[in-house]
Amino acid sequence: MTSAILLVTYAVTAGTLGAGWLRDARWPTLAPRLAIAAWQALAASVLLALAAGGLALAISFPHVSADLAGLLNLCAENLRHGYASPGGTLTALIGLALFMTLLTRAAWCAFRTTTTDRRERVSRIAALDLVGRTNIVPGALVVDHATPYAFCIGGRRHRIVVTSGLLATLDPVELDAVLAHEHAHLRQRHHLALILCRILFATLSPVFPAFRAAMTRVRMYAELCADDSARRHVDVGPLRDALLRLACLPAPTGALAASALDVETRLLRLEDRGAGLSRPSVALVAFAIGAGILVPLLLAAGPALAMAWEGICLLG
């Protein structure tokens, strides 16, 4: 029971105060890749803590100091202990219901998100391949459209798509900057990171509202990562000018585009060549990300560790 209370308390604290702090923090724009990992770790730790808390309620761990026979008889002892305790049956049912609800919702969100994403990507690629041309810009699909547009579609059959309007609007250096940005999205597999975030956030958002708006921030961090990669290959000036030209255009569904998300933040960051976290700060954030996953695991493993300490799992 104590482990369950600690796990649920941790989940509520991380899902409310932790998510609120991460949402309002300033450091994520300085280390966008770490920020994406931080949101993923936070959501995963909340989900893990809730699931482990449900299991801890459903399965009690009485003190058993015995030999191998006691270990083999542990399941029967747990059942007998739970049903003999006042309210044990109700507590076990609540824990089991919590665990099964989380498991079912996570599986449903994963299925819905992955199938929807795959269907949208496949249909979009099929349509673009019919009308696009590959012999104009190396590595990109050119579509005849007056609006200046550039985006990429991730996956095994990835595509970088630009419009004829973009080619007419940008000079060659600016076009190289846009292509470098889109190649960074594909190289860093941002589509997979975003899919994982969508699954985790959708699973938790009915209970923790802070995760409902987190997807917009994660998308912006992906754009900042691509900006960082692009400016290592091209000058900041052409990248900034290209971003200004494309700033008013949203990314298509299932795609990543060099436009549309928090343009002011991205422009300010491009102008600040010294933007970034110090090494101690990076180490501290990395430690916090690891701790976010380890804490619920350690809390869940508490009873098992206690039993091992009692001698169940020790030889001799």
Give the model confidence (pLDDT) of 127-147 as tens digits. 999 998 988 998 899 999 888
Taking only Cα atoms into account, the Rg of the chain, rounded to an integer number of angstroms, comes to 25
Which range is most confident: 3-17, 153-167, 186-200, 219-233? 186-200
Report residue 133: phi and psi, to 5°: -120, 140
Residue that the structure tokens 């990543």 belong to? 256
Looking at per-residue confidence, does 8 or 299 come out higher?
Answer: 8
- Confidence grade of residue 66 (pLDDT, cut at 50, 70, 90): very low
Q: What is the pLDDT of residue 211?
A: 93
List, for residues 201-225, the tens digit of each pLDDT value: 999 999 999 998 899 899 999 999 9
pLDDT of residue 252: 63
Range of lowest pLDDT (44-48, 158-162, 236-240): 236-240
CA gap 30, 26 in Å, rounded: 8
List beta partners, residue 161.
141, 151
pLDDT of residue 209: 92
* Cβ neighbour number for residue 216 with a 10 Å cutoff: 11
The pTM for the full model equals: 0.81
Buried b / exposed e over 245-265, threshold 16 CB at 10 Å, is bbbebebeebbbbbbbbbbee
CA-CA-CA-CA torsion sign (234, 142, 252, 188): negative
Is residue 88's pLDDT more than 70?
no
List residues bridging with 25 in a β-sheet: none
Single out the residue of 161, 149, 164, 148 nearest to residue 121, CA to CA.
161
pLDDT value for 44: 93
